[in-house]
Structure 1
Amino acid sequence: MAEQPQVRTTSQAWESLFRTQVAVMRRMQQLPEFRKLAMREYDVLFNLSNCPTGWTRLNELNEALLISQPSLSRMVERLEAKGLVQRRTAESDQRGIEISLTDKGAELQREIGRVHVRHLHEMLAPLLSEAEFQQLQELTDRMRAGLKERPAR
């Protein structure tokens, strides 16, 4: 079994990861694709595009986002008014609400996504090797999976 890191090492690694994400997110906010739709709104469309059935409950969507439930509800209302998402009563629980992309929302998500992926690659690819990006993904996937298994204190 691997040796547990020191508290300071854990803290410094987390700060580095967090500060890197902040730097990347600030740079991404300036990209032209986010003039059509705010980055947080795009994130909702992106997450909806990955739903296996095409539909998801609001609380399930909220687990993938860094936004409060009331803020997400208001955002979904705005996206619905723009014709990008649709809501329905949950089939399994009449009290719940499920949301899905409309055709217009799916088309906009794909349009922004194609450009966004290219811009993200142009920004980050020169910084790490292919193997380093694979290692970064393995490490972050492992951390996320471990957090799902362990309850918060």
Structure 2
Amino acid sequence: MIEQERLPDIRTTAQAWESLFRAQVAVMRRLQALPEFRKLSVREYDVLFNLTRCPGGWTRLNELNENLLISQPSLSRMVDRLEAKGLVLRRTAEQDQRGIEISLTEAGRELQRRIGREHVRHLHELIAPALSAEEFGQLQALTEKLRSGLSPGC
């Protein structure tokens, strides 16, 4: 946590946030237009990508939702569509019969890998010219510090 006397003023905080947000919007608009996102939307791909990071292969719907910028009802409808496409499986949670867990199917895992390879290549082509390797390291360190500085539930 930053010491109280080192806190930035409110205007500096707002301007930095606005800049970060606008940079993300600019990048995301360019990414959404890429050919790899014709089969799946960026948001659908994000669900598949986050499922690849689940240690046991299965995760509760509400836990998955913590990593996404989408409402719980919207995520539920999206999972319905992904399940209909054969990309995810759904089951009743083993620990709590009221909850739902989801996992990638083999087809979902393969599609995520295929899109992911193209996505990373296009992302690199898009943003690598903007910053040096050192600046990308600083950006990563700063965004990780920002995320870890948020209290749980934010």
Q: Please tell me the TM-score bracket, short chain as reference.
A: over 0.9
**Structure 1: distance between partners of 2:92 and 2:153:** 30
Q: Which residue is 1:6 aligned to?
A: 9
- What SS does the aligned partner of 1:66 have? coil
Aligned residue among 90, 93, 107 for 2:110: 107
Structure 2 gaps of 5+ residues are none
1:125-144 correspondence runs (5 A): 125-144=128-147
- What SS does the aligned partner of 1:88 have? strand
- What SS does the aligned partner of 1:36 have? coil
Q: Which residue is 1:118 aligned to?
A: 121
Q: Are the structure 2 counterparts of residues 7 and 118 from structure 1 closer, same or farther at C-alpha, using a change threshold of 3 Å? A: same
1:22 counterpart = 2:25: yes
Instruction: Name the Cα RMSD after superposition.
Output: 1.1
- What SS does the aligned partner of 2:28 have? helix
Shift of 1:74: 0.2
- What SS does the aligned partner of 1:87 have? strand
Q: Which amino acid is 2:119 matched to?
A: H
Structure 1 gaps of 5+ residues are none
1:80 counterpart = 2:83: yes
Q: Are the structure 2 counterparts of residues 81 and 151 from structure 1 closer, same or farther at C-alpha, using a change threshold of 3 Å? A: closer
Aligned length, in residue pairs = 151
**Structure 1: distance between partners of 2:15 and 2:123:** 25
When the two structures are superposed, what TM-score results if normalisation uses the length of structure 2?
0.95
- What SS does the aligned partner of 1:92 have? coil
Q: Which runs of 4+ in 1 moved over 6 A?
A: none
Shift of 1:27: 0.3
- What SS does the aligned partner of 2:6 have? coil
**Structure 1: distance between partners of 2:67 and 2:153:** 17
1:57 counterpart = 2:60: yes
**Structure 1: distance between partners of 2:133 and 2:80:** 40
Shift of 1:151: 5.5
- What SS does the aligned partner of 1:141 have? helix
- What SS does the aligned partner of 1:37 have? coil
